[in-house]
A = this chain, B = another copy of it.
Amino acid sequence: MLLLIPGPVTTRPQVRQALAQDIAPWDNESRTFLTRLRGRILRLAGGSDAHTTLPLQGCGHFITEAALRTFLSPGGRILIPATGAYADRMIRLAREAGRIPVPLPMGAADATDPLAVARVLAADPTLSHVGMVYSETGSGVIHDVQAVGAVVRAAGRRMIIDAVSAFGALPLDLSTQPEVDAAVFTANKCLEALPGIAFAVARVDRLEAGAGNAGSWSFDLSNVHEHALRSGPGSFRFTPPAQLLAALDVALDFHDDEGRAARLARYTANMRVLYDGVRSLGLTPMLPPEHQGPVIVNVRAPGDPAWDLQAFVDALKSRGYLISNFYNTSLPTFRVGCIGAIGPDDMAGAVRAMDQALRELGIKQREPVQE
């Protein structure tokens, strides 16, 4: 069964097998292991001596909330380009944590316009931060964090990057983006490992400046940093999901072997086979080709009255391809991921299975309902 949901992703058997062991988290071997793992992740992010890797138990929501709490003061204001479902997530996390998110409205298929960000920052000096989703799986659009970062830098403001479904495939070089307080991500997307562990790569000076901001011991990244200084870089703060870290380390070996750029090229090839494939079936991707990123393709639901997302998911599943049984676009769609330990042949197989599934369900009208 291939997972195209898109994330948790399909992993390699060696990665999964590394889970199946008992591990003592603060043992000296574990300390050496974690110290090395933090360094590997720092290098993947283009981190310098000015940065550190902060591991956090849990999911993407948790590490995003932790970054918002640590780097924004209570009541602090953050501009968030409204790129889709994951920008909405950041907005809600900030609001419930007592920060003030200011959405920047934009079209669902559009890339974030750096000039629009610059204009809002110039007009509102109270905005200390810009929060930005790098790969918006709510649409499939990749947003240019380098270009937006440049205007944030020029305006003397700070930036938090939600790189959850980008990290490990899309380029990130924090050494060239001093305006970034932190990039946050999880193990179970483009790193091709398992869910339950998250990371921030963050600036040490900003972690020190953020001490006392969080209003939560659990989500205080400054304290995670302080703990590592006090107890050593291999000492996880609180009980870690040690098996997930072991699997991630194996997954990073595969990442080293492949290289980031080659991984991005593989995902892009996956996306192209899928995107062209669904069009050849008479289906309609949500995005025009020039805005379609390599991580997820959202496909408009067929207009046929026989369309039933769960029945379609079940028919694909019986053929070995698992896609999401929900969508998070405003129009009805189905979501297909292009990431994980899969290649273009797998995507070609998925397209053939979609054709068979549509026939099985009696879907004749494959174009979406006209708005």
Would you call A20 and B22 a contact (CB within 8 A)? no
Query: Given the complex, which residues of B lie within 8 Å of A195, measured CB to CB?
Result: 25, 239-243
Query: Given the complex, which residues of B lie within 8 Å of A356, measured CB to CB?
Result: none
Tell me the nearest residue of chain B to A217, going by C-beta: B96
Q: From residue A358, how far is it (CB to closest CB) to chain B in Å?
A: 20
| Stretch of A55-63, A176-184, A266-274 that contacts chain B | A55-63
Near B by CB (< 8 A), chain A positions 1-34 give 1, 3, 5, 7-8, 10-11, 13, 16-17, 19-28
Would you call A20 and B20 a contact (CB within 8 A)? yes
Main secondary structure of the interface of A (DSSP, over half): loop
Q: Indicate whether A214 reaches chain B with its CB closer than 8 angstroms.
A: yes
Q: When the two chains form the complex, which single residue of B23, B97, B217 contacts A65, counting CB atoms closer than 8 Å?
A: B217
Task: Give A28 to B22 CA distance when docked, in angstroms.
Answer: 30
Near B by CB (< 8 A), chain A positions 192-237 give 194-197, 214-220
Task: Give A317 to B29 CA distance when docked, in angstroms.
Answer: 11
Task: Give A186 to B242 CA distance when docked, in angstroms.
Answer: 14
Would you call A16 and B20 a contact (CB within 8 A)? yes
Query: Given the complex, which residues of B lie within 8 Å of A314, measured CB to CB?
Result: 28
Given A20-B20, A23-B8, A215-B96, also A238-B3 (CB < 8 A): no
| Stretch of A128-136, A151-159, A295-303, A319-327 that contacts chain B | A319-327
Would you call A3 and B24 a contact (CB within 8 A)? yes
Would you call A194 and B27 a contact (CB within 8 A)? no
Q: Indicate whether A244 reaches chain B with its CB closer than 8 angstroms.
A: yes
Given A215-B96, A326-B26, also A194-B241 (CB < 8 A): yes
Q: From residue A164, how far is it (CB to closest CB) to chain B in Å?
A: 9
Would you call A7 and B58 a contact (CB within 8 A)? no
Would you call A216 and B217 a contact (CB within 8 A)? no
Q: Indicate whether A92 reaches chain B with its CB closer than 8 angstroms.
A: yes
Q: Indicate whether A333 reaches chain B with its CB closer than 8 angstroms.
A: no
Would you call A239 and B24 a contact (CB within 8 A)? no
Task: Give A90 to B21 CA distance when docked, in angstroms.
Answer: 30
Contact with B along A277-310 (1 / 0, CB 8 A): 0000000000000000000000000000000001
Tell me the nearest residue of chain B to A322, going by C-beta: B24
The number of times this chain is found in the oligomer is 2
Would you call B57 and A188 a contact (CB within 8 A)? no
Tell me the nearest residue of chain B to A65, going by C-beta: B218
Would you call B242 and A60 a contact (CB within 8 A)? no
Would you call B194 and A26 a contact (CB within 8 A)? no
Task: Give A186 to B239 CA distance when docked, in angstroms.
Answer: 10
Query: Given the complex, which residues of B lie within 8 Å of A24, measured CB to CB?
Result: 3, 5, 8, 322
Given A97-B215, A186-B239, A219-B218, also A20-B17 (CB < 8 A): yes
Given A195-B239, A239-B7, A241-B195, also A218-B61 (CB < 8 A): yes
Query: Given the complex, which residues of B lie within 8 Å of A57, measured CB to CB?
Result: 57-59, 62, 196
Contact with B along A87-100 (1 / 0, CB 8 A): 00000110011100
Tell me the nearest residue of chain B to A223, going by C-beta: B96
> What is A's interface to B at a CB cutoff of 8 Å?
1, 3, 5, 7-8, 10-11, 13, 16-17, 19-28, 57-62, 65, 92-93, 96-98, 186, 188, 194-197, 214-220, 238-244, 310, 314, 317, 322, 324-326
Q: Nearest 10 A-B pairs (CB), nearest first?
A: A196-B241, A19-B19, A57-B58, A96-B217, A58-B58, A16-B20, A196-B196, A59-B239, A59-B238, A61-B238
8 new A-B contacts, CB < 8 A, other than A8-B22, A17-B20, are: A24-B322, A26-B326, A59-B239, A61-B217, A188-B239, A195-B241, A196-B196, A241-B244
